[in-house]
Structure 1
Amino acid sequence: MEVFSCIVSKACELGELKDLRAFDGGPAISHLLYADDALILGEWSRGNIENTARLLRVFYICSGLKIKLKKSSLFGIGDVGEEVAIMARTLGCRVGEFPFDYLGIKVGAKTNKSCHWDSVIDTIKRRLASWKANSLSMGGRLTLIKSVLASLPVYYLSLYKAPNKATDQMEKLMRNFLWAGSSEDKKLSWVAWDTVTKSKENGGLGVSRLKDVNFAILAKWAWRFQIQKDSVWRKVVEMVHGGRGRWDFLPLNCRFNGCWNSIVKVLARRSFKGKSSKDIWYWGEEVNDVFSVAAVKLLIQDEVEISREQLMRWESWIPIKINIFIWRAEMDRIPTKATLIRRRIDIQDGSCYLCDFGDEDVMHLFIGCGFSFGVWSAVGRWCNIMPLMAFEFKDVLGYHEQVSGGKWAKKVVRGVVMITCWATWKARNDKVFRGSNPRVVDVVAWIKSWSFLWLKGRSKFSDIVWNEGVLNPMYML
């Protein structure tokens, strides 16, 4: 494509091909190239079209590479009427119509209308349909949402301000997938989406809100505008919009619609405490600080997020699904009988499944139940710490503070506490759905085996041995 670029540039230099000449000293643009895709721009005239056809022929003779004109399209901008079809026949290509897809982006569409975001929403739906969601744990679904689903619309969000209806539809698909494992099925959403989208430090799951992502990526254009002073796109923006805009460093001509107009208007709704010197703009406290989308998202979170008081800390050496379970349990958002009754689900008997005594809620199931008391007693002896004395679930989450030792001693016990809650919940569900009769000794065996496997496979203690770990999980410290 470098050869093709040289041929086009030479043709413009000789006057054989008339490029787009901007007024007020703006740039002259004849072609744009991306990988093997070419976009040729020029004045609208039969002579220019014919010379373009000759130029493509010369390129084919010189390089042996033939551009398939039948797959190419000709677009006329302005009052050209039926001339487009005539010129397309001259060139041997198709007639292009607005809006059209170019490099995966809708060009010429009114992207403030949600209907033009249907292709993005359909992409998310197709991706969801290809996954076997029923075989995924909640931790697996959360990982896919953060790494795949949330990134699918980023290309569009980097250029256009998404309408609220479109972002709401996309987040609805993510929300249904998180709680139901499907974009269509409807199940109880146990935690509000506003809480889910908070950072982990503020009591959420760290899923980014698409509106915040949209704003953060668009903000990068403001930064690029100040840094890339010699870029072609900046010169085009200055030529079209000129003057000064709502922001003191972004030009805006409200007579012209388009993506730059929407970008400036979106950014004008927020103010940044940026810094400038005589010659340069810089981001952050130091001159060498580099602008990042993540930094903008953090600024937005600091403005809108209210930290939720919590004791739960995410533990890296146990699976995500167990971390999520403890996160929900601390907020009393797991389907115990008491919680289901509060949500107006008909439950005839509210007593505990494991001990048949007392109402089954989070407090009783993990603290007051006789069955769980036996489990905690065995776990305390295994870890060589005092028996659990708890009056609320937060006391359970602070159990590791009784451990004397360094950072990893507390991390190990904190993980064991989470696994103990998970094993108790599993025993409860096995009795409810499988009709099994759980025993304390079996649950303790689960806790020991899971703790050993996950410590060995998910932490730095890959050389621990079962014969020692079954006696004390912290023997290696």
Structure 2
Amino acid sequence: MVKATDSGLFKGITLPNNGPVVSHLFYADDVVFIGDGNVEHAKNLNRILRCFFLALGLKVSPSKSKVYGIGLEEIELSFLASALDCNVGDMPFKYLRMLVGANMSRVASWKPVVDRFNAKLSRWNAKSLSFAGRVTLAKAVLGNLPTYFLCLCKALIKLAATKGSPVMENYKRFGPNVVWECSWKSHPTSESTWAELLGFLELLRMAEVKEGEDSWIWGQEVEAIFSVKTVREDLEAACTQLPLGFMIKWCNWAVPKANTFVWKCAQGRIPKRVELKKRGVQTGKNLCACCGYIPEIVEHLLISYMLAQALWWAIGV
């Protein structure tokens, strides 16, 4: 394909900002050819695929191939489909489970994404996993799939022309006022989008811009260095205290099931007799099965019961 593009037998598209010429995209056994819509170039592409079949024995299936056009008439698409011996496809279409050519501002366009999440987090999968396994599954799905699917969404505006440009190149100072220079990538199309944009510009207007080298800071302290750890600590400090009066701190060195067990104890999710009675489960008396004097609650089973105290004493806690 590179030789065909260089010799003029096929013409790809040139990416903006002096980017390369893209004529095809490969992923495993899927390929997308990107051209200019010329019928002769389409016939040359068909000849290249024929030579590929004769050389390697791998034949393209016409029934699984589609031709799509952007800004082309139906008659032009039909000529291209005839030259490539395939069918005309409708926009939008799916490629690698991503919806291409759809208006992602519509709620209906996100239905395949929601269905994908539901399939990954189905109850059938959860039933075959432990609680720690379900937490790991939720982190994997909620952490990876949004990154994969949200790459379809274009940013509304961009401040910097290049990623490495300093902040001072993206605003102008008029006395005490600062005016930010924004270049539009796509214009707002709804009231909610305008509201978000105006809120963002208001935050920029309130920001205090100082001369000097750019640096990442966190919080109100000037010397505070931004890190994920500081974000987590601030979130934990802002969270409501648990009913037991303490905050759960996850231990990296502990196995996941130990962390989740402590969390479930703090949330009252352990099936104790007192909790089972609240759920309508008949367990007889709600007293501790070991001592028979105190109601069976978390504090008694894990802290105040004499065997529990002896265990904590033995391990040095």
Same-fold call, TM cutoff 0.5? yes
Question: Is the aligned partner of 1:108 residue 2:101?
Answer: yes
CA distance in 1, matches of 2:146, 2:88: 29
* 1:74 matched residue in structure 2: 67
* 2:7 matched residue in structure 1: 10
User: Counterparts of 1:161-176 in structure 2 under 5 Å?
Assistant: none
* 1:167 matched residue in structure 2: none
Q: 2:187 aligns with which of 254, 271, 275?
A: 254
Amino acid at match of 1:53: K
Q: 2:81 aligns with which of 88, 91, 109?
A: 88
CA distance in 1, matches of 2:23, 2:76: 22
Q: 1:307 aligns with which of 239, 244, 260?
A: 239
User: Counterparts of 1:307-346 in structure 2 under 5 Å?
Assistant: 307-309=239-241, 310-342=246-278
Kindly provide the CA deviation profile for residues 284-308 of structure 1, in whole angstroms up to 9, marking residues without a partner as x.
Answer: 26xxxxxxxx969986995898234
SS in 2 for 1:284: coil
| Superposition deviation, residue 92 in structure 1 | 1.3
* 2:169 matched residue in structure 1: none
Q: Say whether the 8 Å CA contact 1:274–1:283 is kept in structure 2.
A: no
| Superposition deviation, residue 356 in structure 1 | 2.2
CA distance in 2, matches of 1:327, 1:120: 30
Q: 2:144 aligns with which of 144, 151, 170?
A: 151
Question: Is the aligned partner of 1:376 residue 2:309?
Answer: yes
| Superposition deviation, residue 367 in structure 1 | 4.0
TM-score, structure 2 normalization: 0.64
Question: Is the aligned partner of 1:38 residue 2:32?
Answer: yes
| Superposition deviation, residue 83 in structure 1 | 3.8
* 1:54 matched residue in structure 2: 44
**Against the structure 1 CA distance between its residues 256 and 27, is the aligned structure 2 distance closer, same or farther, given a 3 Å change threshold?**
farther
CA distance in 2, matches of 1:131, 1:274: 52
User: Counterparts of 1:55-454 in structure 2 under 5 Å?
Assistant: 55-58=45-48, 61=51, 64=55, 68=60, 70=62, 71-78=64-71, 80-127=73-120, 133-148=126-141, 150-160=143-153, 226-227=162-163, 248-254=181-187, 270=200, 284=216, 306-309=238-241, 310-342=246-278, 349-368=285-304, 372-377=305-310, 379-380=312-313, 382-383=314-315, 413=316
**Against the structure 1 CA distance between its residues 150 and 83, is the aligned structure 2 distance closer, same or farther, given a 3 Å change threshold?**
same
Q: Say whether the 8 Å CA contact 2:104–2:110 is kept in structure 1.
A: yes
Kindly provide the CA deviation profile for residues 229-266 of structure 1, in whole angstroms up to 9, marking residues without a partner as x.
Answer: 9xxxxxxxxxxxxxxxx973442342889xxxx99997
SS in 1 for 2:7: helix
* 2:223 matched residue in structure 1: none
**Against the structure 1 CA distance between its residues 300 and 64, is the aligned structure 2 distance closer, same or farther, given a 3 Å change threshold?**
farther
**Against the structure 1 CA distance between its residues 353 and 268, is the aligned structure 2 distance closer, same or farther, given a 3 Å change threshold?**
farther
Kindly provide the CA deviation profile for residues 108-162 of structure 1, in whole angstroms up to 9, marking residues without a partner as x.
Answer: 123344443443444445545697644532112212222346423431123238x
SS in 1 for 2:99: strand
Higher strand share: 2
Q: Say whether the 8 Å CA contact 1:19–1:30 is kept in structure 2.
A: yes
CA distance in 1, matches of 2:161, 2:10: 30
Q: Say whether the 8 Å CA contact 1:32–1:38 is kept in structure 2.
A: yes
Q: Say whether the 8 Å CA contact 1:336–1:361 is kept in structure 2.
A: yes
Kindly provide the CA deviation profile for residues 266-325 of structure 1, in whole angstroms up to 9, marking residues without a partner as x.
Answer: 7876557798989xx96626xxxxxxxx96998699589823443543344543222222
**Against the structure 1 CA distance between its residues 108 and 94, is the aligned structure 2 distance closer, same or farther, given a 3 Å change threshold?**
same
SS in 2 for 1:38: strand
CA distance in 2, matches of 1:376, 1:366: 8
**Against the structure 1 CA distance between its residues 20 and 354, is the aligned structure 2 distance closer, same or farther, given a 3 Å change threshold?**
same
| Superposition deviation, residue 53 in structure 1 | 1.3
C-alpha RMSD over aligned residues? 5.0
CA distance in 2, matches of 1:301, 1:114: 35
SS in 2 for 1:227: coil
Amino acid at match of 1:252: K
Kindly provide the CA deviation profile for residues 61-109 of structure 1, in whole angstroms up to 9, marking residues without a partner as x.
Answer: 4994677261432222236134422431133122111111224321112
CA distance in 1, matches of 2:288, 2:40: 84
SS in 2 for 1:325: helix
Q: Say whether the 8 Å CA contact 1:31–1:41 is kept in structure 2.
A: yes
TM-score, structure 1 normalization: 0.45
Amino acid at match of 1:329: C
CA distance in 1, matches of 2:196, 2:185: 12
**Relative contact order higher in (CA < 8 Å, ≥ 6 apart):** 1
Aligned residues: 282
CA distance in 1, matches of 2:27, 2:253: 43
**Against the structure 1 CA distance between its residues 20 and 367, is the aligned structure 2 distance closer, same or farther, given a 3 Å change threshold?**
closer
Kindly provide the CA deviation profile for residues 341-396 of structure 1, in whole angstroms up to 9, marking residues without a partner as x.
Answer: 5566666533223322232222333344xxx213423542x34xxxxxxxxxxxxx
Gaps of 5+ in 1: 162-217, 230-245, 286-293, 384-412, 415-477
Higher helix share: 1
Amino acid at match of 2:187: C
Over the matched positions of the two proteins, sequence identity in percent amounts to 26
| Superposition deviation, residue 31 in structure 1 | 2.5
Q: Say whether the 8 Å CA contact 2:274–2:286 is kept in structure 1.
A: yes
* 1:468 matched residue in structure 2: none
